[in-house]
Structure 1
Amino acid sequence: MLQSNSIKWLLLSASAMALSACSESDTAVSKPQQAKAAQVETQQPAVKVTSAAGASPSVAQPAPETGAAEPTNPSVAVEKASDTSEEAAALNSAQPAPSEDAAATEARLRRVIAQQVGNVPIDRISPSRLPGIYEVVAARQVIYISDDGRFLFPGPLLEVSQGQLVSLTEATLREIDMEKAPQRAELISQVAEENMVIFKAPKEQYVLTVFTDVNCVYCRKLHENMQGYLDRGITVRYLAFPRDGIGSAAYNKLVSVWCAKDRQLAMDNAKLHNKFSATTCDNPVADQYSLTRQMGLNGTPAIILANGELISGFMEPERLITYLNSKANTQVSENR
């Protein structure tokens, strides 16, 4: 069986965000490190990837270079040799039987995953577009397994279609995510606008709700582009998401914004100038943080569309308006 750290790596690799976002685990990283990471990201060449489900385009970064292979440890080699018979038996049991039906295949692969990874809740197993490879949806993430059970790996699984790379993994993730969209839309509808920090577009076409953390480099990047969103008819309504939790420094900073007489100015000062006033009052920050727990959000900025769809991360104004217009046009076509 794979070690627990291998299991964690597999699921974390599968859950890597396609867009630029600050995860809750990022809060342990210092601000200089975050800034350096953002600078490196902008310098990396990128490959455009499109979701098979028509989801927002993502950016795939080049894989890091690896060093020379590590020398073989004799003791590890001996241990591996002693496990050969057990591994062979496991592989034999994983082999597909002749004329195996879909239900039998799924049951067999579930047993293989349980043997190798442990008791991970599996939502479904289905054939992928790649022959001989099955898609496994587990813990709201996507991983892949070969038909014979020998290979288990995270995505993304990319398909070349009409000269473009199409992310089949992202399409499945969007499908999974959209199952929670109605719940998110309902929860947000219960939040009064007076408890938000709103930047309203003069010629409003779309209204987005954005969960934000003042310590997140990508939240600051989004705010730096605020005029671009407003000029394109996109209203931004901020809700608070202190990733470090209630009572943290990030929480106190957000409280100071929500308690300011001019919330827009306070947000500008916080995001653009890193300036805060030690102000407290009866505020909704804790309640809004509770919403992120109910929605299962784990990163910022978390952009929620009117229908509850989630965009996890920063998206430039032009790219975002193109996506929103595309969705609107598709909706019009479907309603005809």
Structure 2
Amino acid sequence: MKHLTRLLVAAGVLTMVACSAQADTPPKNLKETISKKLGRPVDAVNSTPVKGVYEIVIGKNNIVYSDAKGQYMFVGELVDVTKKESLTEKRIAELSKTDFNKLPFADAVKIVRGDGSRKMAVFTDPDCPFCKRLEQVSLNGLDNVTIYNFLMPLPGLHPDAARKSGMIWCSADQQAAWRNWFFDGKLPENGPECDNPIERNMQLGASLGISGTPALVFANGQIVSGAVPQEQIEAMLAKSK
């Protein structure tokens, strides 16, 4: 989506934003109207730079847009052509922020490299191929960083991920078990039967609006989804320092 937006903006095709338009206050009953029509709660209704178009926030960080009557809605990106930036992406990033220091770090597999001064968290599924790519390519080689790995299996996609998560957590050497699995595909010999935080991690991820893995959380509270390249991670670590 981000790449597509850049292409459309560069081509002058995506012209949804009228930069000179004056934002107006959302109608008082719009939130209730849309909630009834969709049959689900609406978290917030906000103005946009486009008169008569309103931002509808559903489920913490999902954004759609509506007219003043809630009769027409569209899903897509609102782009400021002059600034060549997606206002939708910017708002989703704002809505997705969390308090990094309030994360339950005791429920994560902690890996420290170098002086560990830079901090980040990763929500990961042991059977997720993108999580393995993130480990092997993007995170491998990062220095002076502390990574808190929250095991968050996605049972709907990977039925055996919860068992593997438990085995890694229950290992006498969690860090070794982590590396052995993600780099060599070898699970520890122990079972998953110990007091583990796997269910709590799944609930935590849901509360943060994380529905897929991998998801990276930086010290400034920014959440980024996907197996992003190492240079982007370095930039985010520098930004959140």
**Residue matched to 2:46:** 126
When residues 282 and 120 of structure 1 are mapped into structure 2, their CA distance, relative to the original with a 3 A threshold, is: closer
When residues 149 and 285 of structure 1 are mapped into structure 2, their CA distance, relative to the original with a 3 A threshold, is: closer
- Cα shift readout 1:26-80 (whole Å, capped 9, x = no counterpart): xxxxxxxxxxxxxxxxxxxx4575xxxxxxxxx99xxxxxxxxxxxxxxxxxxxx
2-side partners of 1:235 and 1:271: how far apart? 17
Gaps of 5+ in 1: 1-17, 20-45, 50-58, 61-101, 329-336
- The answer (yes or no) to whether the contact 1:125–1:136 under 8 Å persists in 2 is yes
2-side partners of 1:273 and 1:254: how far apart? 16
Superposition TM-score, scaled by structure 2 size = 0.75
Residue 167 of structure 1: which of 86, 93, 96 is its match?
86
**Residue matched to 1:216:** 128
2-side partners of 1:324 and 1:253: how far apart? 29
- Cα shift readout 1:232-286 (whole Å, capped 9, x = no counterpart): x3332212111218xx511111122223344333223322333324522524243
When residues 237 and 139 of structure 1 are mapped into structure 2, their CA distance, relative to the original with a 3 A threshold, is: closer
2:200 counterpart of 1:317: no
2-side partners of 1:322 and 1:279: how far apart? 38
- The answer (yes or no) to whether the contact 2:44–2:57 under 8 Å persists in 1 is yes
**Residue matched to 1:142:** 63
2:97 counterpart of 1:185: no
* Structure whose CA Rg is larger: 1
When residues 125 and 256 of structure 1 are mapped into structure 2, their CA distance, relative to the original with a 3 A threshold, is: closer
Which one scores higher on RCO, CA 8 angstroms, separation ≥ 6?
Answer: 1
1-side partners of 2:88 and 2:166: how far apart? 38
- Once the two structures are superposed, the pairs formed by residues 295-310 of structure 1 within 5 Å of their partners are 295-310=208-223
Bigger mean CA offset, 136-145 vs 289-298: 289-298
When residues 175 and 279 of structure 1 are mapped into structure 2, their CA distance, relative to the original with a 3 A threshold, is: same
User: Residue 134 of structure 2: SS of its match in structure 1?
Assistant: helix
1-side partners of 2:47 and 2:201: how far apart? 39
When residues 318 and 294 of structure 1 are mapped into structure 2, their CA distance, relative to the original with a 3 A threshold, is: same
When residues 161 and 224 of structure 1 are mapped into structure 2, their CA distance, relative to the original with a 3 A threshold, is: farther
- The answer (yes or no) to whether the contact 2:5–2:86 under 8 Å persists in 1 is no
2-side partners of 1:256 and 1:312: how far apart? 25
**Residue matched to 1:206:** 118
Bigger mean CA offset, 211-220 vs 125-134: 125-134
When residues 113 and 171 of structure 1 are mapped into structure 2, their CA distance, relative to the original with a 3 A threshold, is: same
Number of residue pairs matched by the alignment: 222
- Among the aligned pairs, what percent are the same residue? 25
**Residue matched to 2:147:** 236
Superposition TM-score, scaled by structure 1 size = 0.56
Give the AA of the match of 1:241: M
- The answer (yes or no) to whether the contact 1:106–1:125 under 8 Å persists in 2 is no
Select the structure that is richer in helix: 1
Return the offset for 1:317. 1.6
Give the AA of the match of 2:190: T
**Residue matched to 1:43:** none
Runs of 4+ in structure 1 deviating by more than 6 angstroms, as ranges, are none
When residues 114 and 209 of structure 1 are mapped into structure 2, their CA distance, relative to the original with a 3 A threshold, is: closer
2-side partners of 1:138 and 1:293: how far apart? 14
When residues 138 and 274 of structure 1 are mapped into structure 2, their CA distance, relative to the original with a 3 A threshold, is: same
2:75 counterpart of 1:154: yes
- The answer (yes or no) to whether the contact 2:118–2:145 under 8 Å persists in 1 is yes
**Residue matched to 2:196:** 284
Give the AA of the match of 2:101: A
Give the AA of the match of 1:129: P
1-side partners of 2:31 and 2:168: how far apart? 49
**Residue matched to 1:326:** 239
- The answer (yes or no) to whether the contact 2:67–2:73 under 8 Å persists in 1 is yes
Give the AA of the match of 1:227: N
Return the offset for 1:110. 4.3
Return the offset for 1:223. 0.5
- The answer (yes or no) to whether the contact 1:156–1:168 under 8 Å persists in 2 is yes
Gaps of 5+ in 2: 9-23
